[in-house]
Structure 1
Amino acid sequence: MKIVSAAEAVSFVESGNRVFFQGAAMTPNILIDALVDRHKELKAVEIFHIHTEGSARYTQPPYRDSFCLNSCFAAGNVRDAVNSEYGAYIPIFLSEIHVLFRKNILPLDVAFIQVSPPDKHGFCSLGASVDITLPAIQTAKKVIAQINPQVPRTHGDGIIHVSRITAAVEANAPIFSHAPVAPSEIEKQIGKHVAELIEDGATLQMGIGGIPNVVLNNLMNHKRLGIHTEMFSDGVLPLIEKGIITGEEKEVKTGKIVTCFALGSSALYDFIDDNPVVHFKEAAYTNDTAIIRRNPKVTAINSAIEIDLTGQVCADTIGTYQYSGVGGQMDFIRGASLSEGGKAIIAMPSVTAKGISKIVPNLREGAGVTTTRAHVHYIATEYGVVNLYGKNLKQRAKALISIAHPDHRQELEKEAYYRINKTR
């Protein structure tokens, strides 16, 4: 493995190349910044990634004249770019992004990654982000690594041998972290409602944020819980310490926490470092519906931007504005629904921060349907939980109105009446 300067490492990128960036806590910003500094000598370089951390200078003037973002997720640092002429969004399930690489639909010229120093056998760890990084490094023509001793060495499939690394730069800095945020009173209420749906022995999938962490906080009296998830954060740590999360009833990798990436505090990274209990796999595995459903009582907890009165869930756009991405919601909604005793849950506040109802007569014009009305089961707000499975359209509307914010129920009832009677 050749250790070079950052400028030399990024010199392997040529105009017209497609370059992959590892994401989340492992975003290799030393390499990214060095690449952006070359903007005057490059043109038509396509950047491909999902969620990254950092300023994303390649989406900002004057650098964006040399780089174009093609992303499968619109995080806050690239959201405006994705919705502009300088970027684009690819709607695709997280479980299927690997197909773009492995079937040469979007072949990769270069992959930028951040890894641990090699062990005595020459293997570096991909740390807290294996997700789509593993297929990226397996298929990219060149792999450029940022080697950092503060990257946790994780167990599972997230490894790369030094012989596969074209060039590397040295770094020594903490990886990106997010301290847990105190939940709001509304999130606490939603969390309590959702926690009541979770049974002993359930296998959990949850995302980051206030609601998942509150749900976990309400599980202190549960037993024999397991984790098979796309990602996890600090909320699981107290449950592991108290012996509540044991994974003993899981069918897939019994006793293991299965994930494809982790994002949280430094305490979380200390926990996953050299911990054989946590098994990191690529997203093609963690989000495979056929694998998810093999676990018992899979309880998937996801969120939404808005839900219409028929049960259609929009979780990634605000009208035509791309706000996030399809991600793994449908992977786990379907996997949980097919699991023996499983429960697919959409949890959200009843209104936005501006008081706009998130339960609506119709999705906004141009909004994407992330989860179809045929797939949706449980919906939770601070006003309760309803199960739409098996309900007709009239029954669904009535159920959803019952958990809408009281300020909006009358208007929703009028809209439901007009819809049923086809008159205004």
Structure 2
Amino acid sequence: MKMNLKKLAHLSDLLGGLRPGEPVTIHSAAANPTRLARQLAESAPMLGGRCVYALMPYGPVPYADAPARDSLKIATALPGPGLRAAMEAGRVVALRRPLSAMPALFPAGERAGMVLLRVAPPDASGRCNLGVAVDYMPAALRAARFVVAEIDPGMPVVPGEGWVDVGRIDACIQSEDGPHQMTPPDADTVDIDIARHVVSLLKDGDVLQTGVGALPEQVLRQAAHLKSLGLHTGILTDGARALMEAGVIDNSRKGYLPGVSVATMALGTAGLYAFMDRNPSVFLASCAVTHAGEVLRQVQSLKAINGALQVDLQGRVNAEWAGARQVSLPGGLPDFARAAAAQEHGLSIIALRSCDRHGRSAIVPALAPQHPCSLDAHEVDCYVTEYGIAHVRGRSEAARRGALIAIAHPGHREMLERACR
């Protein structure tokens, strides 16, 4: 086993070994390897339009900026703020695939391209831990011809599937930056009201899936009175950590991996990462597992709580476009929503503000024809705004329209009623 890792002066020293068309895959979210990302940007002119897979960039994304952007093609499934401008300029390949299908981008048995990682230092058995992001990296690692790691002692060692033998790593650089941090955003009064309605749908023993942002964190904060909750989600956050520390989330009634909170990545504060370090109550797995239908069917009483930008009167959901700007992609939304909606005791919940920041109704007569539908009506059981809850499971189309109008902003209800005539 190769224990003495080869030190790399600069990433450009290895990039010349790539074959034409081979991609570069970079570690996701809080595990984004800052120094390797910078060196990738510096080396962009030698890459000749090569594709960079960046599942969910967080922190600096220098390869998306000038001049590197002119030499690279970036593909993503969860664009964050670092890729928003590039998306608006049409320089990003939008991977409109559910997260469960993302590992299939790297076919088994084929070796192609390079993977750039941020990992914890090797342990005594010669393994490095992927830390706070596993997502599709196991599949990418199986497929890569070259693996380059940013070795960071600040990366927590998290139980689960995020392991790579040092013998698989071709070269490394050193870093002491630690994973990227995100401070939970503050909730406003609208978030608080929406969260109160969402929490009224939850009960003891439910298994929660939530996203990232002020509203999901507020939902978790207001769920502190419940007991024996479980967590099976895409991204582990500080709100979930608080409930785990308080014993509210104990996963005692969860069918899949009881006693353990399951996610595919984490994003939050240094306190969250310290909590996860060698914590046996946390398990990070590939999104081929966390988001798989056959796994989610074992997670009974799943409450999938997700956001949206618009909902139309048919119940179709737009979670991707704000006006003429594409700001997101479906990600794990279809996986969790479909699984929860298919369960007798599950609920697929879409929570959104009644109006956008310009005062326009988020509940609209019909989605714009140029905007793809992120979720169909049959994949949602409840819609929630600050004005209440629209319970639509098993209801007729007319009843669904009426329920949605009832939770729209009062100033827009007459317009919506006219659209139904």
TM over 0.5: yes
* Amino acid corresponding to residue 33 of structure 2 in structure 1: P
SS in 2 for 1:264: coil
In structure 1, distance between residues paired with 2:267 and 2:14 = 26
Is residue 416 of structure 1 aligned with residue 388 of structure 2? Answer: no
* Aligned mate of 2:40, from 29, 35, 38: 35
Out of 31-40 and 402-411, give the one that drifted further: 31-40
Out of 67, 70, 82, the residue aligned to residue 72 of structure 2 is 67
Match of 1:253 among 250, 253, 257: 257
Q: Deviations over 1:41-74 (max 9, x none)?
A: 3312211121112332222222222111122232
Which among 276, 291, 294 is matched to residue 290 of structure 1? 294
> Which residue does 1:175 correspond to in 2?
179
- Of 147, 152, 177, which aligns to 1:148? 152
Structure 1: distance between partners of 2:69 and 2:12: 21
Report the equivalent of 2:207: 203
The CA distance in 2 between the partners of 1:91 and 1:103, in whole Å, is: 21
- Give the 3-state SS of the residue equivalent to 1:34 in structure 2: helix
Contact 2:132-2:179 within 8 A present in 1 as well:
no
| Code of the aligned partner of 2:174 | E
Is residue 89 from structure 1 mapped to residue 94 from structure 2 by the alignment? Answer: yes
Instruction: With the length of structure 1 as denominator, give the TM-score of the two structures.
Output: 0.94
Matching residue's letter, 2:274: D
8 Å contact from structure 2 (residues 205, 229) kept in 1: yes
Deviations 1:130-174 (A, max 9, x none): 011121112111111100000010001100000001111111112
Q: Which amino acid aligns with 1:298?
A: L
Structure 2 distance, partners of 1:75, 1:246, is 31
After superposition, the C-alpha distances for 1:278-330 in whole angstroms (9 at most, x for unaligned) are 01100010001221121221111001010000100111223564311110111
Give CA deviations for 1:105-138 in whole Å, capped at 9, x if unaligned. 9x74001110000000010000000011121112
Structure 2: how far apart are the matches of 1:278 and 1:312?
Answer: 34
**Alignment coverage as a number of residue pairs:** 416
Cα RMSD, aligned residues only: 1.7
Q: Structure 2 matches for 1:38-49, cutoff 5 A?
A: 38-49=43-54
The equivalent of 1:364 in structure 2 is: 368
Summarize the Cα distance change of 1:7–1:135 in structure 2 as closer, same or farther, 3 Å threshold: closer
CA contact (8 A) 1:294 1:339 kept: no
Inter-partner Cα distance in structure 2 for 1:120 and 1:152: 16
Structure 1 residue matching 2:156: 3-state secondary structure? coil
CA distance in structure 1 between the partners assigned to 2:71 and 2:140 by the alignment: 22
2:280 maps to: 276
Contact (CA 8 Å) 2:361, 2:412: kept in 1 or not?
Answer: yes
Partner of 2:84: 79
Mapped pair 1:214 → 2:212: no
The residue number in structure 2 matching 1:315 is: 319
Deviations 1:56-100 (A, max 9, x none): 222222222211112223222112323435332121000001111
2:120 equivalent to 1:116: yes
For 1:17, the equivalent position in structure 2 comes to 22
**Alignment partner of 1:345 is 2:349:** yes
8 Å contact kept, 2:108–2:142: no
Following the alignment from structure 2 to structure 1, what is the Cα–Cα distance between the partners of residues 81 and 163?
29
8 Å contact from structure 2 (residues 30, 59) kept in 1: no
Structure-2 residue corresponding to 1:264:
268
2:82 aligns to what SS in structure 1? coil
Amino acid at match of 2:118: Q
Does the 8 Å contact 1:336/1:342 carry over to 2?
Answer: yes
1:331 aligns with 2:309: no
Which range moved further: 5-14 or 201-210? 5-14
**Structure 2 match to 1:157:** 161
Identify which of 26, 29, 37 aligns with 2:31.
26
Gaps of 5+ in 1: 418-424
Distance 1:156 1:194, change over 3 A: same
Contact 1:305 1:314 in 2 (8 A): yes
Alignment check: 8 A CA contact 1:317 1:323 kept: yes
| More divergent stretch after superposition (229-238 vs 320-329) | 320-329
- The correspondence for 2:394, drawn from 390, 393, 401, is 390
Paired residues of 2:210 and 2:305 also in contact (CA < 8 A): yes
Cα deviation for residue 406 of structure 1 reads 0.7
CA distance in structure 2 between the aligned counterparts of 1:183 and 1:144, rounded to whole angstroms: 39
The answer to whether structure 1 residue 98 and structure 2 residue 103 are counterparts is: yes
State how far apart, in whole Å, the 2-side matches of 1:108 and 1:124 are: 22
Deviation readout 1:161-204 (Å, 9 max, x if unpaired): 00001111111112110112220100000111000110100011
One-letter amino acid matched to 1:355? G
When the two structures are superposed, what TM-score results if normalisation uses the length of structure 2? 0.95
- Return 32-41 or 322-331, whichever deviates more: 32-41
Q: Return the offset for 1:9.
A: 5.6
Residue 10 of structure 1 contacts residue 31 of structure 1 at CA under 8 Å; is this kept in 2?
Answer: no
Partners of 1:228 and 1:332 lie apart in 2 by 10
Q: Percent identity?
A: 32
